[in-house]
Amino acid sequence: MAIPSDAPDWRGMSKEELDRGLNNGLAVPGSGDIMANWEQRSAALRTRYPAHLDLRYGPRERNRIDFLKAADRAPTLLFIHGGYWQMRAKEFFTLVAEGALAHGINVALTGYTLAPDATLDEIVAEIHAAIDFLQRELPALGGDGKGIVVSGWSAGGHLTAMALSHPHVRAGLGISGIYDLEPIRHSYLNDKLGLDEAASRRNSPVKQPTGPDKPLSLVVGSTELPLLRQQTADFACYRAKHGLPVSYEQIAGANHFTIMNEMIAPEGRITALLRELFARTG
């Protein structure tokens, strides 16, 4: 769980260098085509599971959940999408359910209000509200009632860590997440987020006195931006230092986008880690 050897100290970087060091779209040629493919494949999967789409858990437009049912009384995974808390939507990511569904795991995908229309505190609160709703509705939807495993990518990895404290969450898996918001606060991404120092600290999992004593798996691609790999390694070290259950893994050859193939594929590494979390906490 060592810090990547090529990871610079962001505090010594210029604003331009920091902005570039956090820009995944710029770092991965063809990322727009990858996202377009995800959206197309997700739309096709949604047509196969039309029964429980856009379930409303709150009053705002994006306060909606899609539920893809694998089987009655099946375990349930909740996926939180990424986009630096200010882009994208759950509909882009339906295809990530394919791996879990193939193993009899229900998959819910939640939306949330994007910045600047919501503060990060409000976004975190919406995720907790979504979990409240999902747990309450699971008996009717087909859940096993044993609690939820939460996973998320990029900003969704951060929101996964923030959701781990919810009493109905039994475990989490963060994919290429952000766990220290201070670099974000000093970058172009804060134009919409509007974080001050207090909000950054309050919402940074790695800055808390301790964390939830629940299993958390952390993964990141070996070819991702160094600052992103550092975020995951630092958070894994934080969890280990505090005696909290954690696993850490770099997915060889994966970048910020191709890492999701390991969740989409039924035999992918992330799918395997999710199955392990369900087995450990069932």
pLDDT digits (tens, 9 = 90+) for 11-46: 999 999 999 999 999 999 999 999 999 999 999 999
Count of positions (residues) in the chain: 282
Look over the chain and give the mean of its residue pLDDT values, rounded to a whole number. Answer: 96
The yes-or-no verdict on residue 58 having pLDDT over 90 is yes
User: To the nearest whole percent, how much of the chain has pLDDT over 70?
Assistant: 98
Task: Note the pLDDT of residue 4.
Answer: 55
Instruction: Give the per-residue pLDDT at 136.
Output: 96
pLDDT for 23? 96
Q: Which has more pLDDT, 236 or 145?
A: 236
pLDDT, average across residues 120-128: 98
Residue 59 has pLDDT above 60, yes or no: yes
Asked if residue 5 has pLDDT above 60, the reply is no
Nearest partner of 93 among 257, 248, 228, 251, judged by Cα: 257
| Whole-angstrom distance, CA of residue 57 vs CA of residue 65 | 7
Q: Are 178 and 184 in contact (CB under 8 A)?
A: yes
> Which residues, 6+ apart, have CB-to-CB distance to 254 below 8 Å?
221, 222, 223, 224, 261, 262
Q: In whole angstroms, give the CA distance from residue 113 to residue 102.
A: 30
Of residues 52 and 142, more confidence is placed in 52
pLDDT band at 268 (very low <50, low <70, confident <90, very high): very high
User: Contact at 8 Å (CB) between 176 and 220?
Assistant: yes
What pLDDT score does 282 carry?
84
Mean pLDDT throughout 168-192? Answer: 98
What is the DSSP secondary structure assignment for residue 118, as one 8-state letter? S
Instruction: Give the model's confidence band at 67: pLDDT under 50 very low, under 70 low, under 90 confident, else very high.
Output: very high
